[in-house]
Structure 1
Amino acid sequence: MDKKLIKGNEAIAEAAIQAGCKLFFGYPITPSTEIVEYLSKHLPKAGGTVLQGEDEIASINMCYGAACTGTRVMTASSSPGYSLKQEGLSYIAAAELPVVVVNINRSGPGLGGLGPTQSDYFQCTKGGGHGDYRLIVLAPSKGQEMYDYTMKAFDLADKYRNPVLILADGFLGQMMEPVELKGTPAAILPEKDWITDGCRGRAKRKIASYSLTNEIGELNNLYWEEKYKSIREAEQQWEEFHTEDAEYLIAAYGTCARIAKTVVNKARKQGIKLGLIRPITLWPFPEKAFLPYRNSVKGVLTVELNTGQMIEDVKLALACSVPVKLHRRLGGMLPHEDEILADLIKQFDIPAVREV
């Protein structure tokens, strides 16, 4: 297998090519710009096209049109640009079109900064645009996963005919790591018999989201509700690290999960039985991961690069049966493993510990 030292953003772009993406529509914005730059150079060699829209709104609507043909299509942006795509994403979800979207977070609100942050969690996992809809959201924590999860995103988008989001931050997007470019084969997916295939006779399907009557509108929303229930049941993904005998847990995703693994190792050297649950799918949130610990752990610390967003989903997953506390850094700052461990000990009043 070919292994290459590349940026996380470049890993996403190369994975898109390997996954058979043929169209990319986007608008450059730091810290995601390397994605469009890499694709501009390499996607045409693979028979694809890159077009820079006049803005993010145009770009997401170009994705809508392209996805109607069944062609694999992607767009990428960073937080303010992703905000501009919300109306288009609502329409894409309602039309049941497979589109892969990348959001390399920057801090906010407003223009924000370029440092690592997770302040878009609510926007990405709760819909973002208008109406009752969901995006499948994947959260990589290293360069290899930026590649692997992008490959998976295209398959999930086709499987469920739904937009899929890769959610990362500037640290993961800009950091260079060895990545195995393995080009895994596509999953076995249903035939795309829903595409709009021209105007000779009648197209097989009319793609629209407008409901002329309230009764039809309700039926449509009930259908989408059942669809999202099936995704929630089938696609929850997570990683567990030293949870088998844990008395305390850290919940963290992305960059924070990388740091949290070191915290777990340091805590165990001091005799604290600490484990980590890392959500991989932020939607559907991996509630199943937390169920076994509702009555077996003394506390959970969420580590986030925001003022506390994922913590709400952790509390719901635990049915408020376990104390859940927050450790956060903001505005592009990353927490040090020692400060997380010290805060864990302080917030849960863990008795004095010693090196073992």
Structure 2
Amino acid sequence: MAEKILLKGNEAMVEAAIEAKCRFFAGYPITPQNEVPETMARRMPQVGGTFIQAESELAAINMIFGASAAGARCMTSSSSPGISLKLEGISYIAAAELPCVIANVQRGGPGLGNIRAAQGDYFQAVKGGGHGDYRLIVLAPAGVQELYDLTMKAFDWADLYRNPVLMLGDGLLGQTAEPVVKKKYRPACKLPKKDWALTGCTNRKSNVVKTLMLGSVEALADHNRHLVQKYKKIESELSLVEEYMTDDAELIVSGYGMTARIAKGAVKNARAKGLKVGLIRPISVWPFPTDTFKRAAEKADKFLVVEMSNGQFVEDVKLAIECKKPVEFMGVGGGWYPTPENVLEKIETVLGG
């Protein structure tokens, strides 16, 4: 029987990253993600890696740019306002097509907000919160084991597509402790050679990593066309979703991350009462599992979106089903948590109405 170890979500990310051969981490403390740099500071020297507590979030993300450009598997983490400070660097990293993993353990906002869990960073994550047209692969696990598993895969997908991958969690996931099976790293895909990396050029032509393109008028437009084609490829190959009891559902409940986990409990309770309710939980919120929602809209009568924000994820649900069915919303920003009981109450109201 596989051995299990009790880990917080923040600690599980670290263990998964190290198992996946991440050997460079730069970060800056902010609650509720502080166990990530704290654990990295202890674990990285044990495996011959490098840990740097940077002087700021801006410094940390640019250190990730440098480490990735040199071919290292690297990671940074922060929480909501810290990610905002990293956005310029994230745009540079996406433009330079450098693989890395970035973790956002979300807290309440806007502004400094509070340290309670929230999901107000959805637009920032999936729409490209920095400047220019770019995309991040965005993964939203709903439990500590799934967080561990997806973090290992995140490094592979980052390398495969030469694109940053964002682990989008929240304070609940980061601070929840659950038994985790620590698995041996096995690549999730065939990994390409990093023949673009800046590793010295005594026996080859020089590599250049840059994002400033001031040559011909078409240079940057051509690069954008290339990026768009890459993003289309990612959309066609990487769409992760969980469906639960949706076959005969009259009402589809949807959420992501820990909110979806809470909502799933409400769906189970609704089924016990004889209500025909199902759940769709996107695991990748970009690429968004649009086809899954389209198919569900062909059979279900209504949708209910639950999220710990004033309403961001709900817009992508409406776009996915092309507004063909009514979409109800349940959510508050700033650190509000749903419970299975109040989600069930909302389900009964929607079905009754």
Q: TM-score range by the shorter chain?
A: over 0.9
In structure 1, the residue matched to 2:195 is 193
Q: Report the 3-state secondary structure (helix = DSSP H, G, I; strand = E; otherwise coil) of the residue aligned with 2:246.
A: coil
Deviation of residue 295 (structure 1)?
2.1
Instruction: Output aligned runs, 1:46-85, within 5 Å.
Output: 46-85=47-86
In structure 1, the residue matched to 2:333 is 330
Q: Report the 3-state secondary structure (helix = DSSP H, G, I; strand = E; otherwise coil) of the residue aligned with 1:209.
A: coil
Q: 1:347 to 1:244 in 2, by over 3 A?
A: closer
Contact 1:194 1:204 in 2 (8 A): no
Is 1:310–2:313 an aligned residue pair?
A: yes
In structure 2, the residue matched to 1:2 is 3
TM-score normalised per structure 2: 0.97
Q: Which amino acid aligns with 2:341?
A: D
Q: Report the 3-state secondary structure (helix = DSSP H, G, I; strand = E; otherwise coil) of the residue aligned with 2:103.
A: strand
In structure 2, the residue matched to 1:106 is 107
Superposition RMSD on alpha carbons, in Å? 1.2
Write the distance in 2 (CA, Å) between the matches of 1:347 and 1:145: 31
Q: Report the 3-state secondary structure (helix = DSSP H, G, I; strand = E; otherwise coil) of the residue aligned with 2:181.
A: strand
Q: Report the 3-state secondary structure (helix = DSSP H, G, I; strand = E; otherwise coil) of the residue aligned with 2:252.
A: strand
Instruction: Output aligned runs, 1:277-296, within 5 Å.
Output: 277-296=280-299
Choose from 254, 262, 265 the match for 2:265. 262
Deviation of residue 7 (structure 1)?
0.5
Contact 1:9 1:146 in 2 (8 A): no
Instruction: Output aligned runs, 1:1-356, within 5 Å.
Output: 1-187=2-188, 188-198=190-200, 200=202, 203-212=205-214, 213-350=216-353
Contact 2:248 2:299 in 1 (8 A): no
Write the distance in 1 (CA, Å) between the matches of 2:281 and 2:142: 9
Describe the superposition over 1:308-347 as per-residue Cα deviations: whole angstroms up to 9, x where unpaired.
0001100111011111110113322211222112222323
Larger displacement relative to structure 2 (324-333 or 14-23): 324-333
Describe the superposition over 1:147-202 as per-residue Cα deviations: whole angstroms up to 9, x where unpaired.
11110110010000000000101011011100110123123211111111225476
Q: Report the 3-state secondary structure (helix = DSSP H, G, I; strand = E; otherwise coil) of the residue aligned with 2:352.
A: coil
Q: Report the 3-state secondary structure (helix = DSSP H, G, I; strand = E; otherwise coil) of the residue aligned with 2:153.
A: helix
Write the distance in 2 (CA, Å) between the matches of 1:272 and 1:347: 11
Write the distance in 2 (CA, Å) between the matches of 1:107 and 1:120: 9
Larger displacement relative to structure 2 (102-111 or 325-334): 325-334
Contact 1:141 1:255 in 2 (8 A): yes
Contact 2:109 2:333 in 1 (8 A): no
Write the distance in 2 (CA, Å) between the matches of 1:204 and 1:289: 45
Write the distance in 1 (CA, Å) between the matches of 2:145 and 2:345: 31
Structure 1 runs of 4+ off > 3 angstroms?
199-204, 347-350
Q: Report the 3-state secondary structure (helix = DSSP H, G, I; strand = E; otherwise coil) of the residue aligned with 1:302.
A: strand
Describe the superposition over 1:122-166 as per-residue Cα deviations: whole angstroms up to 9, x where unpaired.
001100100000000000111101111110110010000000000
Larger displacement relative to structure 2 (191-200 or 269-278): 191-200
Larger displacement relative to structure 2 (210-219 or 339-348): 339-348
TM-score normalised per structure 1: 0.96
Number of residue equivalences:
350
Q: Report the 3-state secondary structure (helix = DSSP H, G, I; strand = E; otherwise coil) of the residue aligned with 2:66.
A: helix
Q: Report the 3-state secondary structure (helix = DSSP H, G, I; strand = E; otherwise coil) of the residue aligned with 1:290.
A: helix
Give unmatched runs, 5+ long, in structure 1: 351-356
Larger displacement relative to structure 2 (60-69 or 184-193): 184-193
Contact 2:110 2:334 in 1 (8 A): no
Q: Which amino acid aligns with 1:246?
A: A
Q: Which amino acid aligns with 1:31?
A: P
Contact 2:251 2:351 in 1 (8 A): no
